[in-house]
Amino acid sequence: MRQIAIYGKGGIGKSTVASNLSMAFREQGLKVIQVGCDPKRDSTRNLTQGRLIPTVLETYREHLRMGHDEYAIALEDIVFEGSKGIYCVESGGPEPGIGCAGRGVLTAINILRDLKAFDTYGVDVVVYDVLGDVVCGGFAQPIREGYAREIYLVCSGAFMSIYAANNIAKAIRRLSRPRETGLAGVIGNSSGDEQFEKGVLAEFAQTLGSKFIHLVPRSPVIQACEVQCRTVLEHAPDSAEAEAFRKLAKRVIDNDHPVIPTPVEELSELEALYRQYLKT
């Protein structure tokens, strides 16, 4: 079973990448489960035609109210079949400004493990889609021992997305285990200037000790599918954009070499790297 986690700055397109990846894996005949780790609970929308599925934490809360523990949760109440039989889970979490979302993600992931969700559904690939800023321990739970082994960082050409990805790489470095868990690669989600992005992201990935996997083009097709709450592979299966995701998926499948990343320590160094490509 492959376990893949997708991290990156908030709003960078992780959920788009994750859901399309999941669909591409599914196309290849793999059994897939996508786990959204975000209190906004919107990771799997593209796989459920826009329906917001009940979250793990919501369901857990109902059981707690009845005086039951997590083992009273039935897997069917938290794992839902989406488009093309892709299993969908949303961790859920508190509303903004209250409670502890990190603890929420941690708890939800543990429930999936304790209920042996992945074994039960016999999945081949797990895709964790984790919210933007990894600001406390709980958000790192998906890459702890027993969970995701291959971690991808999604970036665009915007400097802040690279800066955020570099920061997240520090968490990955701390939690990596040699030949087990690590940074698998950098995925680009283009904001328009493909040539620039390919250059800078490749350099960035190399600096991290990893590789640049693929650049997903910016395209009105992708955006149109988002609005329809569909993946590109479903809604526009013959498009070039769909091909791009298939290519990405293939590269991810073939890539089984996570590394312990070497994030850039000095902001000035990162800026210099970036500026280098701006000029060209």
- Residues lying near other proteins in the complex (CB under 8 A) are found at 57, 60-61, 64-67, 69, 93-95, 98-104, 106-107, 136-141, 144-145
The nearer residue to other proteins, 100 or 158, going by C-beta atoms, is: 100
The nearer residue to other proteins, 103 or 247, going by C-beta atoms, is: 103
Quick check: is 170 catalytic? Answer: no
Quick check: is 211 catalytic? Answer: no
Considering 69, 114, 119, 133, which one is annotated as catalytic? 133
Shortest reach from residue 7's CB to other proteins, in Å: 15
The nearer residue to other proteins, 58 or 81, going by C-beta atoms, is: 58
Shortest reach from residue 16's CB to other proteins, in Å: 27
Quick check: is 133 catalytic? Answer: yes
Going by their DSSP bridges, the two strands 212-216 and 80-81 should be labelled as: unpaired
Quick check: is 250 catalytic? Answer: no
Shortest reach from residue 55's CB to other proteins, in Å: 11
The nearer residue to other proteins, 85 or 97, going by C-beta atoms, is: 97
- Which residues have a catalytic role annotated? 9, 14, 40, 133
